[in-house]
Structure 1
Amino acid sequence: MSGTALPRRGRLVLVPAPLDFGCEPQPPITEVLPAGTLAAAARITCWICENAKTARAVLKRVGQVTPLALPLQEQHIVELPREVHKKGDTGASFDARSLLQPALQGSDTGLLSEAGMPAVADPGASVVRAAHELGLEVLPLVGPSSLLLALAASGLNGQNFAFVGYVPQEPAQRLQRIRALEALAVQTGQTQLFIETPYRNQALLAALLQGLQPRTRLSVSSGLTLAQARTRSATVKRWREAPEADAPTGPAVFAIGP
């Protein structure tokens, strides 16, 4: 006797976005996302994102390479609540299960951030967690991650590393945190990666050059995957001696290690 077949469930698909959010000119999307990722994204018609306008812009670029399953205006796009993507969703305070109804009803649902891999240094962890709680398959697609690209380009320890998010804005607390991260890096050999809001990059770089020991290595990467991509990795002593110590004006990844 055969039982009743269970209805098909969709998957949560983590779709990386190019790292050129807010940048001009933007390189062809085919230079940073492989054909398989573009094809998979083109098949999805239900989306969870930070910003619907940004998501449509990415999907428009995808559609220029691979036809979308539905026109842009017919795509089902929902935004994460503002407090989630502005303050983070690493805790358990936000229940994202309601956003996954399309997947429960059989439609693959894409999770898209403004740049890079969703849920890595970006919002989306609550959605991934909810998908697991609902028994949905979670499928990450291949694409750029600024953290891994910066780590690879830094020359620092890529076998033991940690991403610590943002350091405090208040100068005394920031200096204390920088020195604590340096002590951890020296003690364990673990590379410490962190980011900052671009307009505070200069203040962060100044604090790093003030607070770190001369032998500590500091790496700063910016514009990754773009024509203006740049990574500078040197000891703090050499950073202090260099005439050009300006911080990047766009998104950047900072890393320190022995």
Structure 2
Amino acid sequence: MMKLYLIPCNLSDNKLDEVLPRYVLEDIIPNITVYMVENLRTARRFLKKVDRSINIDELIFCEIGKNSDRNEVSHFFEKHYDRYDIGVLSEAGCPGVADPGSEMVALAHQKGMQVVPLVGPSSILLALMGSGFNGQQFTFHGYLPVQKGERAKILKRLEAQVRKLQQTQIFIETPFRNMQLLDAIVEHCHPKSKLCIACNLTATDEFIQTKTVGEWKSNLPKIHKKPSLFILG
């Protein structure tokens, strides 16, 4: 039976052996020739970093990002799933989590292909672990609305969920809009609500800190253009 390997990538520009197990780097990746990837350029760079002896030009790739043709993606999978092991690569972190790789996993299950999730860094779980919030009940919402009115409504709703259900609320933003989201949080959330900001996870300048919204308001961190997660808890 062929296998679908879900291969985590590094979250920052650190040494791969600091965040990925040796068996993934040495035993799994070098033996895969077919890849379904969120971003081709990022994937090629990652694989070359894993092992410079890998001949990238001999590998077979299919992009599965949001702009990819879904019919072409399905055709690629149909063509290869019963002849090759397939590796799935996200741009960063774990494929299948807030990532189009989940579509490939669904296809693999439909075809009876063995799905093999591999150990590696997940920004969502790392941020939750470092927040000090409830790790028994939590929800990841992805991106919040960009429109100010809708975003304010959602923030108030998430804050209410924390109080009503003691459920941790996790969300993200495009790095260049981090400060706009942070401004919205301190404007619309209660000063005593707790907010964790996790930035540049696994990097040398990693930043994870939990404070009240009121405390953040008086000293906003400089996280513009830095990959960040925001957690209300």
The bucket for the TM-score relative to the shorter chain is over 0.9
Give the C-alpha shift of residue 95 in structure 1.
8.6
Q: Aligned pair 1:38/2:45, yes or no?
A: no
Structure-2-length-normalised TM-score: 0.93
Change in CA separation of 1:215 and 1:110 when aligned onto 2, cut-off 3 Å: same
Report the 3-state secondary structure (helix = DSSP H, G, I; strand = E; otherwise coil) of the residue aligned with 2:196: strand
Paired residues of 2:5 and 2:116 also in contact (CA < 8 A): yes
Structure 2 partner of 1:62: 50
Q: Aligned pair 1:74/2:51, yes or no?
A: no
Paired residues of 2:62 and 2:73 also in contact (CA < 8 A): no
Q: Aligned pair 1:19/2:6, yes or no?
A: no
AA matched with 1:104: D
Pairs within 5 Å for 1:78-117: 78-80=62-64, 82-83=66-67, 96-100=73-77, 101-105=79-83, 107-117=84-94
Give the C-alpha shift of residue 226 in structure 1.
0.6
Structure 2 partner of 1:254: 230
Query: Considering only aligned residues, what root-mean-square deviation do their CA atoms show, in Å?
Result: 1.8
Structure 1 partner of 2:2: 10
Change in CA separation of 1:97 and 1:135 when aligned onto 2, cut-off 3 Å: farther
Gap regions ≥5 residues in structure 2? none
Structure 2 partner of 1:241: 218
Give the C-alpha shift of residue 80 in structure 1.
1.4
Give the C-alpha shift of residue 15 in structure 1.
0.3
Structure 1 partner of 2:108: 131
Paired residues of 1:222 and 1:248 also in contact (CA < 8 A): no
Deviations along 1:229-257, one digit per CA (max 9) or x if unpaired, are 00121111211233x44334211111001
Which has the higher Rg, Structure 1 or Structure 2?
A: 1
AA matched with 2:229: V
Q: Aligned pair 1:210/2:197, yes or no?
A: no
Paired residues of 1:95 and 1:130 also in contact (CA < 8 A): no
Give the C-alpha shift of residue 83 in structure 1.
2.7
Report the 3-state secondary structure (helix = DSSP H, G, I; strand = E; otherwise coil) of the residue aligned with 2:81: helix
Question: Could you list the runs of 4 or more consecutive aligned residues of structure 1 that deviate by over 3 angstroms after TM superposition?
Answer: 93-97, 244-248
Deviations along 1:112-140, one digit per CA (max 9) or x if unpaired, are 01100011122211111011011111000
Paired residues of 1:10 and 1:102 also in contact (CA < 8 A): no
Percent identity (aligned): 38
Q: Aligned pair 1:146/2:111, yes or no?
A: no
AA matched with 1:31: E
Paired residues of 2:144 and 2:154 also in contact (CA < 8 A): yes
Report the 3-state secondary structure (helix = DSSP H, G, I; strand = E; otherwise coil) of the residue aligned with 2:185: helix
Change in CA separation of 1:81 and 1:143 when aligned onto 2, cut-off 3 Å: closer
Deviations along 1:52-110, one digit per CA (max 9) or x if unpaired, are 2211101001114xx54xx211011111154359xxxxxxx8795423232212x1100
Whole-angstrom distance in 1 between the partners of 2:73 and 2:138: 29
Gap regions ≥5 residues in structure 1? 1-8, 21-25, 86-92
Deviations along 1:25-47, one digit per CA (max 9) or x if unpaired, are x2211111110111211211110
Deviations along 1:147-174, one digit per CA (max 9) or x if unpaired, are 0000111111111111011111010110
